[in-house]
């Protein structure tokens, strides 16, 4: 591919304004199976669908809440299982390829990978912790490698020549403390 064919689409989701409050049991967030439970609201869902129909070589969906982490008693998309399924369905229906999530809010870094039938794996790159770090990460069997529990910054690179995505975490000294590469064709139908 020549440089003129590369188009990166960055979509910033508002996961706070219309989000229905979390359901808590004994201080832990639990799944809310109600059809009224929403993260984005209908207007934002319609906007997202229109965006995913636009041509793009790569898509980064930015979410303040982790999409790749499993239900773990804290804030994740899994607290809204119908919204997760709606996102999976939307990606399938729009055939939006090369889509990854970028998230934060948990005060550590990790890369999560989730698989669904009929959809390529969805990666969620969480980088959250320039100034504040959790003592231990939340339970997440979807993560690849160990979470990074030190101040850090994350970087996503696209190697167009070799058709790869590179997820990297650097500590405050600039040393690379995490790296994972994904073949570009893994993110296709």
| pLDDT, tens digit, 9 for 90 and up, residues 135-162 | 888 889 999 999 999 999 999 999 999 9
| Overall number of domains in the chain | 1
CATH number at residue 147: 3.60.21.70
State the first-to-last Cα distance of the chain, in angstroms, to the nearest integer: 19
Q: What is the pLDDT of residue 69?
A: 94
| C-alpha span between 106 and 74 (Å, rounded) | 9
User: Quick check: is 157 in a domain?
Assistant: yes
Q: Is residue 96 part of a domain?
A: yes
Give domain status of residue 154, yes or no. Answer: yes
pLDDT beneath 70, residues of the chain:
1-4
DSSP bridge partners of 154: 169
Which ranges of 9-110 would DSSP assign to H, the alpha helix? 42-52, 81-94
| Cα–Cα dist 2/119, whole Å | 27
- Specify the pTM: 0.94
Distance of alpha carbon 25 from its chain centroid, rounded?
25
Kindly state whether residue 136 falls inside one of the protein's structural domains: no
How would you class 135 by CB atoms within 10 Å of its CB: exposed for 0-12, middle for 13-18, buried for 19 or more? exposed
Query: Quick one: pLDDT at residue 187?
Result: 98
Please check whether residue 152 lies inside any domain of the structure: yes
Host domain of residue 153: 3-131+143-187
pLDDT of residue 20: 86
Within a domain: 174:
yes
Tell me if 138 is assigned to some domain: no
Looking at residue 1, its pLDDT comes to 42
Determine contact, residues 88/116, Cβ cutoff 8 Å. yes
Residue 121 lies in a domain: yes
Residues ≥6 apart with Cβ < 8 Å to 144: 110, 111, 112, 113, 180
């Amino acid at each position: 591919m020549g440089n003129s064919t590369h188009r990166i689409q960055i979509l910033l989701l508002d996961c706070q304004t219309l989000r229905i409050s979390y359901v808590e049991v004994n201080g832990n967030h639990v799944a809310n199976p109600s059809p009224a439970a929403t993260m984005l609201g209908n207007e934002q869902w319609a906007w997202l669908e229109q965006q995913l129909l636009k041509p793009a070589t790569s898509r980064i969906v930015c979410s303040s809440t982790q999409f790749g982490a499993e239900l773990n008693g804290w804030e994740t998309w899994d607290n809204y299982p119908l919204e997760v399924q709606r996102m999976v369905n939307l990606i399938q229906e729009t055939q939006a390829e090369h889509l990854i999530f970028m998230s934060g809010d948990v005060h550590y870094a990790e890369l999560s990978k989730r698989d669904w039938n009929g959809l390529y794996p969805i990666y969620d790159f969480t980088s959250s912790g320039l100034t504040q770090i959790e003592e231990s990460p939340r339970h997440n069997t979807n993560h690849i490698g160990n979470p990074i529990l030190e101040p850090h910054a994350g970087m996503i690179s696209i190697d167009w020549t070799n058709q790869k995505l590179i997820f990297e975490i650097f500590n405050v000294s600039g040393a690379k403390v995490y790296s994972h590469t994904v073949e570009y064709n893994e993110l296709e139908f």
